[in-house]
Every structure is written in structure tokens, then in C-alpha cells.
């Protein structure tokens, strides 16, 4: 009898361990599938997979990863409150690997920044910087944007330069920010140099092109020395390389080197703003760029390319039963840290039609729809 009891206990324990193992394998597979859906731009599928795995009781690091994936999917779908809740839960679990934690903090910083909660956003950006991951350059740029908006120009300039030194993948943003600081300090020549470097990094960056044209084009020094940054006013705690001229204490330049692989500055004729206004790239939030118009729009999905988003509009029109007739698609770009660029498909309901009822009608046709909030 005792042997039979021991055998039954062992059998039940074995079955329990097997179920736990299968659940762990299932959660790991769902995480991989959800992340693959995000990589493809299928935010709706990524959310569905994460929802299913979370309902199955994933715990620990797997639960944190699923919350991160669902938070990113919700942000792409325009559900900012849900995204903020999931990202916060993932961060607070302290179960994320370092790179995933940096990604979650950076994305939450984006959201808080967009909500005007600047101090909280700056803390998240600072936490990303402290982790010293590949996201640090983006966090430095975005924290610098906050300092600049709060008139903390010395702190902003320090972070912009640190972003460049960290090898920012989009140096046009910190260069533009440095140009804005120089203009605020009435240093037109330095501003022109930074705007020229921003345009050299991204000829389509129309904000820098417009400021550069307004100030008279690229200075000769920028054209002659494309690999140097000239600061006319010293950074706090930094001494100029040469002895200052007593008669002009603020005009002795400090020469700094920009990140590696900088492009040559184009000739002045190339630095004119485009003839037709082009939408600003939306990469970094609060994006040194203007936000895309949102207004009374709804979002129908997010894809990895503009072509896929346009194909998504065609498919939606075919399934909408006439609800989208006469409406126009609006494709909005957005970047998620560690994931890259996505293309959100949006449209505005007919005048006088509430977005909630419009989305409910589209949902009745089997289409995803959420009110756009930015």
C-alpha cells in the first residue's frame, strides 16, 4: 500500500513537472511568434499572441517579455494608455534582460514625453543611459530635447554632444538641436555650422534645411572642415584648447570631432530647402519634428513598409462594406526603439460621425479599428 502511494505521488509530481515544462515551451514559442509578428509590422497579431500567452499564466521573465511585446503592439495600434500600463508592468517586474529593459524604458519615455510628463520621461531616458546599451544615444538625444524645452541649455548641449559621441544612428537630430541652442544664444555662425551638418547627415531633413537657408547657408568653415564641430561658447567645465583672446573671451572656439563615418557637407547649392514641402521624419520623440496630424482619425493597422500599409487600405476597403468609400488613407510613420520604423494606416471618418461608432461599424465587418490619439 505504501509503495503504491509513493508511486502515485511520484507519478503526479512527474505529470505536474511535464505540464510546467510544456507551459514554458508554449510561452517561449508565443514570445518568439509575437516578436516575429512585431518585426513584420503585424501589431494586431502580436497583441493577440501576447494576450493568449498571458492568459495561459506565463510568469517571471516570460511574462515580462510578453508584456513588453504587447505594450509595443498597443503603442503601434494607437492605444497609449494600454501601452503605458504594459510597459510599466514589464519594467516593475525587474525580470527583463538588460537590452529589453532599456527598450521598455525608452518606449515608456517616448509615451510620457508625448503626454507632457517631462520629468518622468527624463528619468526614464536617464535610466536607459545608465544601462549603457545601444539605445543610449537615442535616450541622450531625447533627454536633450527635454532640457532644451525647459531652457536648460548647458545640459541640453552636453547630452546632444554625448549622443553624437555615442555614435547616434541619426546625427541630424542632435546637430539640429545644437543649432537651436546656438540660435537661442545669438550665435548665428555656430548655428549655421550645425544645421549644415544636419543636412549633410540627412538631405531630406527639411527643418534643418529651412533654418540653414534662413541664416544664409553653410559657413565656409563647415565646408572646409567637415570633420570638426566648432563651439563658440565653452561647455561648463571645459577649457579651450588655445589661450582665450582677452578682448574676445567668448569667441575662442572649441573644436570637437563628430561621430565616425560622417558625410561630407554638400555645396551651398544643395542646401536649399525642397521646392515642395516634404513631411518631416518622425523617428525620435519628442521628435525635433512636427507631429503628424491626428485630429479625429482612426487607425486601421500598422505595417513595416508604406507599400504594405497602402495594400492594407485596399484590403480594408474591400471588406468594409462601403464604410470607407469616399475616405482617404493617411499613413503615419513611427519608430519603436530596437524595432525600427513602422507605417500606421489611418483615416478620418466622415464629418459628424463619432470615431467610436465608426470603429464599431468597421469591427462588425471584421476590421481592426482604434481611435488615433496623436
Q: Assess contact for 113 and 92: CB atoms under 8 A.
A: no
pLDDT in tens, 86-99: 999 999 999 999 99
Each residue's pLDDT tens digit, 61-108? 899 999 999 998 888 887 888 999 999 999 999 999 999 999 999 999
Q: What is the mean pLDDT of residues 310-315?
A: 92
Confidence check: pLDDT of 9 > 80: no
Residues 306, 299: Cα–Cα separation, whole Å: 15
| pLDDT 10s digits, 105-148 | 999 998 898 888 999 999 999 999 999 998 899 999 999 999 99
**What is the CB neighbour count within 10 angstroms for residue 294?**
16
Share of the chain above pLDDT 90, in %: 35
Q: Which domains does the chain have, with CATH numbers?
A: 23-127 (1.25.40.10), 135-238+251-266 (1.25.40.10), 298-371 (3.30.70)
Joined together, the cell numbers standing for residue 40 give 513584420
Separation of alpha carbons 98 and 132, rounded Å? 9
Amino acid at each position: 500500500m505504501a509503495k503504491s502511494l509513493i508511486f502515485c505521488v511520484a507519478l503526479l509530481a512527474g505529470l505536474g513537472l511535464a505540464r510546467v515544462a510544456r507551459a514554458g515551451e508554449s510561452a517561449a514559442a508565443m514570445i518568439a511568434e509575437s516578436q516575429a509578428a512585431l518585426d513584420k509590422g503585424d501589431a494586431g497579431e502580436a497583441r493577440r499572441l501576447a494576450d493568449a500567452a498571458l492568459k495561459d499564466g506565463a510568469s517571471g521573465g516570460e511574462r515580462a517579455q510578453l508584456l513588453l511585446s504587447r505594450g509595443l503592439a498597443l503603442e503601434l495600434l494607437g492605444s497609449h494608455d494600454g501601452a503605458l500600463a504594459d510597459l510599466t508592468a514589464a519594467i516593475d517586474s525587474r525580470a527583463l534582460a538588460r537590452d529589453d529593459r532599456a527598450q521598455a524604458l525608452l518606449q515608456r519615455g517616448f509615451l510620457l514625453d508625448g503626454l507632457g510628463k517631462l520629468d518622468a520621461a527624463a528619468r526614464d531616458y536617464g535610466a536607459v543611459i545608465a544601462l549603457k546599451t545601444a539605445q543610449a544615444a537615442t535616450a541622450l538625444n531625447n533627454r536633450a530635447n527635454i532640457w532644451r524645452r525647459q531652457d536648460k541649455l548647458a545640459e541640453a548641449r552636453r547630452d546632444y554632444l554625448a549622443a553624437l559621441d555615442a555614435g547616434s544612428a541619426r546625427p541630424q537630430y542632435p546637430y539640429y538641436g545644437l543649432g537651436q541652442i546656438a540660435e537661442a544664444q545669438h550665435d548665428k555662425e555656430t548655428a549655421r555650422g550645425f544645421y549644415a551638418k544636419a543636412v549633410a547627415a540627412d538631405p531630406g531633413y527639411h527643418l534643418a534645411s529651412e533654418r540653414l537657408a534662413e541664416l544664409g547657408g553653410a559657413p565656409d568653415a563647415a565646408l572646409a572642415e567637415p570633420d570638426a564641430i566648432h563651439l563658440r561658447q565653452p561647455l561648463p567645465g571645459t577649457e579651450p584648447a588655445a589661450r582665450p583672446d582677452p578682448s574676445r573671451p567668448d569667441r575662442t572656439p572649441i573644436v570637437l570631432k563628430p561621430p565616425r563615418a560622417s558625410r561630407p557637407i554638400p555645396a551651398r547649392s544643395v542646401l536649399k530647402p525642397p521646392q515642395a514641402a516634404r513631411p518631416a521624419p518622425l523617428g525620435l520623440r519628442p521628435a525635433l519634428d512636427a507631429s503628424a496630424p491626428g485630429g479625429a482619425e482612426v487607425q486601421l493597422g500598422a505595417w513595416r513598409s508604406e507599400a504594405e500599409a497602402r495594400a492594407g487600405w485596399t484590403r480594408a476597403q474591400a471588406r468594409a462594406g462601403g464604410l470607407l468609400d469616399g475616405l482617404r488613407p493617411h499613413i503615419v510613420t513611427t519608430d519603436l526603439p530596437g524595432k525600427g520604423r513602422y507605417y500606421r494606416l489611418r483615416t478620418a471618418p466622415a464629418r459628424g460621425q463619432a470615431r467610436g461608432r465608426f470603429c464599431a461599424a468597421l469591427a462588425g465587418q471584421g476590421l481592426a479599428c482604434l481611435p488615433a490619439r496623436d
